[in-house]
Amino acid sequence: MKILLSLLLLSTSLPGFCTVWTVNNSSNTFTPSTITINFGDTVNFVITTAHDAREVSQTTWNADGNTALTGGFQTAFGGGMVLPAQLGVGTHYYVCTPHAFIRMKGTIIVQNSITGIAENQSQTNISVYPNPSNGQFQFAIDGSQVAKNCKVEIYNVQGERIYQSVITDTKSDIDLSNQTNGIYFVKIYNGQTILTKKIVRE
């Protein structure tokens, strides 16, 4: 639990540009079944409603089981985002819960790239305040970035998208007061680049 918390704090305290990797399904097979990504990247499962993705231990994975790994990620049926805080450096083994016994499974190999993430912090001037807040957040974004039509998405720790919008001004208010207290992740898209920030509703 302490390791997971440390990874959560580390990955979200280093905002920067990252890549979103997509995993689909072809019948009862994940495609691709193995991906190698950098620390700080996101994996988006775009799969049919008959399937989910649950992280399991290597032993469970080898045995074609589906017992959840404590602290591991899990998407809803139909897929969803697995955020950087859920993907520490190393190999993550996952299965489709109802189809693990027929070997519908895959792996995500996360490489250490903390330096690369940190170096990109100065390329985009975006601030979020107050943070933590009671759910009322304000975004201030460099005018040149707004001109490129930034798209904002907010996800909870389960990887479910709970908000999306397009920023058309240098300041934008976002209301999460109807959400439960906890940690959320803001993803700001600008062309093909993505900035990830952690916000806290308390």
Q: Which of 115, 132, 150 is the last residue of a domain?
A: 115
Q: Residue 149 sits in which domain range?
A: 124-201
Q: Which whole-number Å values give the CA distances from 81 to 35, 42, 59, 185, 194, in the listed order?
A: 15, 7, 25, 11, 14
| 109 and 143 fall within a common domain | no
Residue 196 has pLDDT above 80, yes or no: no
For the chain, percent of residues with pLDDT exceeding 90: 38
Nearest alpha-carbon partner for 91 in 14, 35, 8, 18? 35
Q: Which whole-number Å values give the CA distances from 14 to 77, 130, 158, in the listed order?
A: 30, 18, 20
Cβ atoms of residues 115 and 89 within 8 Å: no
| 19 and 61 fall within a common domain | yes
pLDDT tens, 119-130?
233 345 677 888
More confident residue, 52 or 197: 52
| 96 and 147 fall within a common domain | no
| 14 and 91 fall within a common domain | yes
Q: Which of 96, 115, 134 is the last residue of a domain?
A: 115
Number of domains in the chain: 2
pLDDT tens, 71-94?
899 999 999 999 887 887 789 999
| 85 and 137 fall within a common domain | no
Instruction: Tell me the CATH number at 20.
Output: 2.60.40.420
Per-chain mean pLDDT for the chain:
79
